[in-house]
Amino acid sequence: MEFLKKSWKWVLGVIGFFIGLVWFMNSNTSRKVKKIKKNIKSNEKKTKEVDKKVENIKKEKKVTKKKIAVTNQKLKKVKKKKPKVKKRNGKQSTQALRNRLKKNN
């Protein structure tokens, strides 16, 4: 009992220190939790934006594939319609050129 009468201030100080320490640690962790929650929300927003961009790129990719297929079909049609060039020697080609020039005049 005499010990408590003499050192009651020290005992209260130690108890207060531990209570303050627990309080400080608890408030510090709650701040960390708030920061982490905030970071999670911002990351979710960023992932949503990236997902939208990915979807847009996929749509554009489909459109370009369709355009490529259409142009390939057109090229095949043009290649089929191309007349075959007859091989001629020099004299025949000059004569054909003269005939074409005469027709145009």
Cα–Cα distances in angstroms (integers) from residue 11 to residues 2, 19, 20, in the given order: 13, 12, 14
Q: Indicate the average pLDDT of the chain.
A: 85
Model pLDDT, residue 84: 66
Nearest alpha-carbon partner for 90 in 102, 78, 81, 98: 98
How large is the average pLDDT for residues 67-87?
A: 82
Say whether pLDDT at 53 is over 80: yes
Say whether pLDDT at 47 is over 90: yes
Say whether pLDDT at 103 is over 70: yes
